[in-house]
Amino acid sequence: MSKNLLIVESPAKARTIQKYLGPDFSIMASVGHVKDLPVNKIGVDIDNDFQPEYVTIKGKEKVLKELKAAAKKADKVYLAPDPDREGEAIAWHIAQEIGKDKEEIYRVLFNEITAKAVREAVESPQKLDKNRFESQQARRILDRLVGYQISPLLWQRVKQRLSAGRVQSVAVKMICEREKEIFAFRPQEYWTINAHLEAKEPPPFEAKLLQYKDKKPEITNETQAKKIVSEIRGLDPEVIKVVRRKKKKNPLPPFTTSLLQQDAFKKLRFSPKKTMAIAQGLYEGVTIGDMGQTGLITYMRTDSFRISTDALNRTRDYIANTYGKDYLPEKPNYFKAKKGAQDAHEAIRPTSVDLEPDKISRFLTKDQFLLYSLIWKRLVASQMSPAILDHTQVDIKAGNAMFRASGSVMIFKGFTVLYGDIPADEKEKDRKEGLLPLLKKGQILKLKKLDPVQHFTQPPPRYTAASLIKALEESGIGRPSTYAAILANISNREYITTEKRHFRPTELGFLITDILDANFPDILDIKFTAHMETELDKVEQGIRTGTAVLKKFYTSFKKEIDRAEKDMKGEVPTNISCPECKRPMVIKSGKNGLFLACTGYPECKSTSNFTRDENGNIILEKPPEVPEEHGTCDKCGRPMIVKNGRFGSFLACSGYPDCKNTMSIDAGSDSPANTNVPCPEDGCTGTIVKKRSKKGRIFYACNRYPDCHFAMWDEPFKGECPDCGTKVLAIKQRKTGPVIMCRKKGCGYTMPLDQKE
């Protein structure tokens, strides 16, 4: 029996480490957390300094039993879960369970799973980090207090199965606020004027109007644009200034967690959750030919740009040997960390720069290869020389108008030879630049054409996964280890939908956000949430205690809870007047979705479905006329009326609540029923309709058949897979209830239907 026991989180990580430590060590995996707060109650003793009540996670009893048995036989126990707060909590709980003397339990931390890093960590073990554990525990308790005390209020006042989260709710609020900005936006017309010019030597080029009568032009309509054009037409433009200079484009820093998630989303279309899952596998180890199980990247949860001296030197050697000395800066490139960065771990980088992506591609899945290539190239490029451009800027005068033309020629590719990218804030500008002829001051040019162009200002864009992560990070919301979970949570809730990879709030998202904002202003306040993140960081640094942070938070939170229990309403007021009694109407939630209800209830029972116009204004929706063939209820004989629910229109008995009979709006009809789900085929403008085959089997197909042959057996669901981007999901029936699944073979995305809009 091995004298030493080393416990990690995952079996894959265990296999990699076993190769490095040999027979003197027995390597076992906890398979993630082994203990947590109970699911069926709050599990926190608020009156006793917020003491948590930990229980063994369901299904982990056998794992814990095996770990205890192995620990009894071992002389020393090394706890090696991931080097972060969650990993520290796992190590702490395992240490409590195995019950060995503290002198026989060691904590080891690997930033990368390589032979050198693992052996050095085992040879220099540390003690368990109480501050880091307390920080994780305080965060867990904080989230439990918020979730388990606000969510029941939502169940009582709004509808069942809703949830609120300390960070998740703030992220949804940000999405809702962006949508309100779009609603409030009013496009403004403006015009630009481009001059098409020629010199004696080619090529012809364009210049943009920079000034008019020594001021920045503010051209708001066609009349103004034409007036300026008429003044300039026929004049001989003169070059009055030429500035030539070398322009540097510096390389981008190596990846932090948030930058990796943003770049993988933009370039590979990976969701943050998918990116982190693939990165976890690359970190824990992949079987690489004769090398066996090999960790390919460093730890993937970090906010640091720091690179170890050894990795830096090896990367510089690689650049010099592969690209030559011109591509290697005289000194290493260092990047300034953002304010508040923890710098506990290195940046995300390959464990060995010599493991080039193309050399090991046959051992990786397609997605592993794509992500590893991105990480490998980003590290190497970060230590390369800047790209150098020969930049020319020319000012040209014609009467009262001043035009400017810019052009750049790449004279040294630098880091772009590998990464093929330049900083985003410069990219769009440079794309508009073109080649210029050789020009000199005083030169007269030929004006070929003046081109006035109409534009309209654009509203702020909706958030994507990448831009929301960036916004969360800039606001101090969440930490590198939490971004993927935050986005996965809000994507799987019915508070938002995803349209063309952009987040858009649902009506329920607006309703819940408005209710929470009115009743829990601190919880929904971005600055307050960011402050709590800083307080939790201070616990990890040993500056504050977890109990002190929790007590201060709960003092104000308890007041909000008590007030909400008395005053919180599950409705949001509107400026719509009841069509029957003229009293105000409110937005409420029912079992079939949101609706408008009169505040005069029960005297006035007027209700209505509603929509919003492009400006966000609420519009009363007139119920569609009921087809004659659906006229009477087959149970009570009263008229059947059309109602709108979360899954579309349906027929319901007008005798509700005495008679609760409902049926499909196309029941008994042979004509195709429109699902209102757009056809996912590229370029197709059709919608999916419900049809019946010759054998009587229901299927769904595009209404533009035979021009479009799209068809599916399962009921379609309007939306986009958050993991792979496939348009239109499928609704399938399971024993536990209906679920939404991705149609793409091998994707595996699934979610209970009652968690989706």
CATH code, 138-185+464-567: 1.10.460.10
pLDDT tens digits, 108-140: 998 999 999 999 999 999 999 999 999 999 999
Question: Which amino acid does the sequence have at 298?
Answer: T
For residue 17, the Cα-to-chain-centroid distance in whole angstroms is 32
**Whole-prediction pTM value?**
0.79
In the predicted structure, residue 625 carries a pLDDT above the cut 70: no
**pLDDT-wise least confident of 74-83, 94-103, 220-229, 410-419:** 94-103
C-beta separation of 453 from 192 below 8 A: yes
| CATH of range 189-250+387-456; options 2.60.15.10, 2.70.20.10, 3.40.50.2300, 3.90.280.10 | 2.70.20.10
More confident residue, 636 or 266: 266
Among the options 212, 299, 323, 327, which is catalytic?
299
Considering the segment(s) 257-382 as one domain, its CATH architecture is Orthogonal Bundle (1.10)
Provide mean pLDDT across the span 51-65: 94
The span from the CA of 387 to the CA of 82, in Å, is 38
Q: Do the Cβ atoms of 25 and 18 come closer than 8 Å?
A: yes
Residue 104 has pLDDT above 90, yes or no: no
Distance of alpha carbon 382 from alpha carbon 402, whole angstroms: 40
CA neighbor of 429 nearest in space, from 208, 199, 221, 243: 208
What's the CATH code, domain 4-128?
3.40.50.140
Say how far apart CA 733 and CA 753 lie, in whole Å: 10
Q: Rounded to an integer, what is the distance from CA 440 to the centroid of its chain?
A: 50
Confidence of residue 686 (pLDDT cuts 50, 70, 90): confident
Q: Domain segments of the chain: what residues?
A: 4-128, 138-185+464-567, 189-250+387-456, 257-382, 572-664, 673-755
Inform me whether the pLDDT recorded for 359 exceeds 80: yes
Neighbour count for residue 262 (Cβ, 10 Å):
23
Q: What digits encode the pLDDT tens for the residues 396-420?
A: 999 999 999 999 888 999 999 998 8
Task: Please give the DSSP secondary-structure letter assigned to residue 665.
Answer: T
> 379 near 254, Cβ under 8 Å?
yes
What is the residue type of 480? P
**Active-site residue 299, yes or no?**
yes
How far is Cα 744 from Cα 354, in angstroms, rounded to an integer?
Answer: 35
pLDDT(218) > 70:
yes
